[in-house]
């Protein structure tokens, strides 16, 4: 199958313009799956809760999800794209998955970054895997990458391709994702944005370099740092289902979860670990 990303520079608060731009880019693409950046319709650098309330949308009723559903139907592909989701009185930094048949599901960012913690509620649905026929997809958003557990859980749940909607500002993720793919033997599409957002006294620069990484850690495509770009690569889904490294090692079968208890112990806000009794 052909999977890829759309990299561009969203304009803060200009939802209609951003949707039009993305529509034109998707129109040009020949792919079965495309990933769009985090918060691609609104921009990233919110400076108040009011802005989040104004720009967030209900899913799937909102115009962003509706536009994605229309494009997925017209182009016969699946799309994953980030948006600010309103659900009752909660607000999530989310990514929706749509297919040619319509809306499929929503992932709500589990690990919020920096001032997102002021504006958004932490994701409350965990990490899910979706079977879209050609492959099984896992979704995560930007800063989720720095917690290896995100991609591990998705991979253990059977994801072949990780769709990684991003607005990256740190320089480490693109290289780290190569290791994430290697340790889980899955493909990953990181869709990043470009440009600098200046809002009030705040400024953030986004690193572009969206990429597609194979399950053997080959870098199949990496975009420029400041280009508007669509990147697409052929994905051999079966390769992600073979976790064997050699005749003696299978990356999943060789795991020793009986020694990994500490990974899932609850840690208090003070960093004190609750010890198991006995």
For ligand ACM, the closer of residues 113 and 119 by Cβ is 113
Q: Is 133 helix (H, G, I), strand (E, B) or coil?
A: coil
Alpha-carbon distance values, 240 to 52, 110, 190, 256 (Å): 38, 24, 17, 21
Beta-ladder partners of 244: 250
User: By the criterion CB under 6 A, which residues form the site for ligand ACM?
Assistant: 38, 113, 142-143, 167-169
The answer to whether 69 and 60 have CB atoms below 8 angstroms apart is yes
Q: How far is the CB of 109 from ligand ACM (least distance, A)?
A: 8
Q: How far is the CB of 106 from ligand ACM (least distance, A)?
A: 17
**Least distance in angstroms from the C-beta of 170 to ligand ACM:** 7
Closest CA to 10 of 21, 25, 26, 24: 21
Is 78 noted as a catalytic residue in this protein?
no
Q: Can 163 be counted among the known catalytic residues? A: no
Which is catalytic among the residues 69, 78, 135, 142?
142
Active site (annotated) includes residue 75: no
Kindly tell me which of 5 and 113 has the beta carbon lying closer to ligand ACM. 113
**Least distance from C-beta 53 to ligand ACM, angstroms?**
20
Across 141-168, b (16+ Cβ under 10 Å) vs e yields: bbbbbeeeebbbbbbeeebbbbbbbbbb
Q: What is the per-residue DSSP string for 145-163?
A: GGSHHHHHHHHHTT-SEEE
| Residue number, 113 or 187, with CB nearest to ligand ACM | 113
Residue 164's closest CA among 11, 36, 77? 36
Q: What H or E segment, with its residue span, contains residue 177?
A: helix 173-184
**Residue of 57, 109, 163, 229 with catalytic role:** 109
Closer to ligand ACM by CB, 45 or 137: give it. 45
Nearer to ligand ACM, 48 or 242 (CB): 48
Distance in Å, CB of 168 to ligand ACM, minimum: 6
Catalytic sites, residue numbers: 38, 109, 142
């Amino acid at each position: 199958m052909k999977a890829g990303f759309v990299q561009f520079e969203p304009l803060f608060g200009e939802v209609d313009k951003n949707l039009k731009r993305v529509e034109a880019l998707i129109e040009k693409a020949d792919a079965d799956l495309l990933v769009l950046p985090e918060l691609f319709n609104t921009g990233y650098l919110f400076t108040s809760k009011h802005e989040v309330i104004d720009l967030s949308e209900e899913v799937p009723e909102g115009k962003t999800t509706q536009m994605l559903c229309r494009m997925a139907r017209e182009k016969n592909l699946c799309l994953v794209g980030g948006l600010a989701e309103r659900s009752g009185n909660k607000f999530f930094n989310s990514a929706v998955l749509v297919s040619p048949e319509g809306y499929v599901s929503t992932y709500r960012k589990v690990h919020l970054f920096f001032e997102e913690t002021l504006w958004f509620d932490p994701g409350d649905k965990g990490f899910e895997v979706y079977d879209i026929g050609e492959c099984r997809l896992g979704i995560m958003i930007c800063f989720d990458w720095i917690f290896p557990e995100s991609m591990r859980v998705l991979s253990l749940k059977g994801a072949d391709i990780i769709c990684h909607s991003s607005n990256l500002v740190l320089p480490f993720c693109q290289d780290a994702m190569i290791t994430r793919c290697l340790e889980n033997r899955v493909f990953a599409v990181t869709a990043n944005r470009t440009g600098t957002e200046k809002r009030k006294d705040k400024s953030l620069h986004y690193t572009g370099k969206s990429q597609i990484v194979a399950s053997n850690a080959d870098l199949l495509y990496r975009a420029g740092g400041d280009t508007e770009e669509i990147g697409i690569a052929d994905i051999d889904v079966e390769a992600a289902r073979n976790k064997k490294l050699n005749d003696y090692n299978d990356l999943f079968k060789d795991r020793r979860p009986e020694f990994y208890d500490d990974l899932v112990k609850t840690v208090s806000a003070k960093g004190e670990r609750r010890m198991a009794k006995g």
